[in-house]
């Protein structure tokens, strides 16, 4: 392997750590528990976050605003955007679009469920992407701490995540 290939692989691995940390930290910030975070690749993913699903029990076929379904869909979209946003924030010159394809598929499907009309989908997706980017910036110290731990250990439990996040929060 050449030095350039090795550097690219290292950047991809580092990007994956920040990508998954972005998902995990924003998911937790929005109030959903995280069970684990890993940067160990599987058959069709480079990393994964196991977390409570905001849409568990929601019927996306029925307009059910009373139960907060729209907010839960928006949260799911924001969490999906948070991974790529963290990866781009780390290194805008080296973004692995292939690693984010699954996120963008989820986003496209859920935005359509949220707005119901293709003409409104782009504007809503842009709005939620901006919210995700703002959350990534706001919680960057936590994302950075979690990503560094992932690079060191490959996998974190939900308790590990809570500990890492609490290290940067003021006592109170």
> What percent of the chain shows pLDDT beyond 90?
53
Q: Kindly report, residue by residue over 35-51, the tens digit of the pLDDT.
A: 999 998 777 678 888 88
C-alpha pair distances (Å), 20 with each of 17, 40, 60, 114 = 5, 11, 26, 24
Query: 24-38, 47-61, 64-78: which has the minimum mean pLDDT?
Result: 47-61
- Domain 3-155 belongs to what topology? Methane Monooxygenase Hydroxylase; Chain G, domain 1 (1.20.58)
**pLDDT above 90 (res 89):** yes
Query: 33-37, 54-58, 146-150: which has the minimum mean pLDDT?
Result: 54-58
Please work out, in degrees rounded to the nearest 5, the angle formed at the alpha carbon of residue 37 by the alpha carbons of 21 and 44.
100
Q: How much is the pLDDT for 113?
A: 84
What string of DSSP letters covers 65-117? GGGTHHHHHHHHHHHHHHHHHHHHHH-TT---HHHHHHHHHHHHHHHHHHH-S
**pLDDT above 50 (res 172):** no
Residue range 99-107: average pLDDT?
Answer: 86
Domain locations in the chain as residue ranges: 3-155
**pLDDT above 50 (res 149):** yes
Q: What is the pTM of this model?
A: 0.88
Report which of residues 128 and 3 the model is more confident about.
Answer: 128
Q: What average pLDDT is seen over the chain?
A: 86
């Amino acid at each position: 392997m050449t030095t350039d290939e090795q550097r690219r692989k290292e950047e991809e691995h580092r990007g994956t750590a920040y990508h998954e940390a972005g998902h995990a930290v924003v998911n937790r910030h929005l109030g959903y528990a995280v069970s684990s975070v890993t940067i160990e690749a599987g058959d069709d993913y480079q990393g994964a976050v196991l977390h409570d699903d905001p849409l568990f029990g929601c019927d996306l076929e029925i307009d059910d605003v009373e139960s907060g379904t729209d907010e839960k869909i928006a949260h799911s979209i924001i969490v999906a955007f948070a991974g790529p946003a963290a990866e781009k924030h780390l290194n805008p010159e080296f973004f692995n679009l292939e690693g984010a394809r699954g996120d963008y598929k989820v986003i496209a499907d859920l935005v359509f469920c949220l707005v119901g009309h293709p003409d409104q989908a782009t504007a809503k997706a842009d709005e939620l992407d901006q919210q995700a980017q703002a959350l990534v910036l706001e919680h960057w110290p936590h994302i950075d701490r979690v990503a560094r731990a992932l690079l060191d250990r490959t996998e974190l439990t939900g308790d590990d995540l809570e500990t890492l996040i609490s290290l940067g929060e003021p006592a109170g």
